[in-house]
Amino acid sequence: MAPKNRETSFFTLLKGALNPAFSYLVFVSQTEERENTDFDEVLDVLNRLGIKALDRKFYLDEAMGQAYLKVKLKVKKLEIGEHEQLGSILPKDVTYYFYSSKKED
């Protein structure tokens, strides 16, 4: 049960650090390596879909064997269909989450 709590704790910390004034995509991948190459294909997919990033950061949770890519988006929300496109194009071993403030400017 400890690994599950560890995973929840790390992910909760990551989510807690998100600025509600921006929208984010957070990608998660299982990894045994310290390198960020797991997300090269993800970055290529974002580029092909025209999803612009203001910033991106890589995180590695060695204890859980997971790598995270946090992408701060230039837009507040994704266009209709972009979620489906993203899910169908991404590598199968990558999970993604979209975070956005419910408050509209």
Q: Express each pLDDT in 2-49 by its tens digit.
A: 445 544 567 788 888 899 899 999 999 887 666 555 688 999 999 999
Q: State how far the Cα of 19 lies from the Cα of 15, in Å rounded to an integer.
A: 9
pTM: 0.81
Domain at 2-99: CATH code: 3.30.70.260
Local structure of residue 33 (DSSP, 8 states): S
How far CA 79 is from CA of 7, 32, 50, 61, 86, in Å, comes to 30, 34, 11, 31, 11
